[in-house]
Structure 1
Amino acid sequence: MNVYEEAHNLKRAIEESEEYRQFHEMQKVIDQDPGTAKMVQEFQQLQMKMQAKQMMGEGPDQEMMQQLQQLSAVLMTNPQTTQYLQNAMRFTLMMSDVVKIIGETVDIGNLMKI
């Protein structure tokens, strides 16, 4: 078994997955409207900042939470952004599962010591 060949097979499988196809199609739709694309990007950046704070053990920033909720409320009024965010979540979950599966084989802690 050739690891590189299997990696390319995995790439193709991801590209052919329903999760990827739906996410990619909605990404194209969102990108056609620069205003909407910018709002979605701001929302995703706020989400990442919030997650980073949580991972560092910090409590939620009230102002950031309020901003995230307001932006979310605006985005959820648009069926296309709602669909895009749902597709992005499903795709992200799939990719997270794939990384977890690969990670079961690789001991990252020992790898970092090299």
Structure 2
Amino acid sequence: MDEARFNALADAELARLEALLDACDVEFDYEVKPGGVLELEFDNGTKIIVNRHTAAREIWLAAKSGGFHFRPQEGRWVGTRDGEDFYAVLSRCMGEQAGVQVRIAG
């Protein structure tokens, strides 16, 4: 996949993620940073960073429990290690850091 196509897909997914975060009823703040970076901060001071990594053609998620990489595949973003869905991993990580169950439906 060429860089322009990847960036278009990643930008669309990050914009979709922003809308889903706006609709989430869990207590956290998020900020959009330059370069396709979303930074989520929870009441306990922990953070989750979601960003586009153009060189690898992946979206990366960094959380307290570790780092995860996702590639576009058949209309979804799937984990490069285990094939797990991006939104399932994000929901689990957000829940761990917020201390409540979270479900971000992607």
Q: TM-score range by the shorter chain?
A: under 0.3
Structure ranking higher on relative contact order (CA contacts 8 Å, 6+ apart): 1
Query: What is the TM-score when the length of structure 1 is the normalising length?
Result: 0.26
Larger proportion of strand? 2
When Rg is computed on C-alpha atoms for both structures, the one with the higher figure is: 1
Normalized against structure 2, the TM-score is what?
0.27
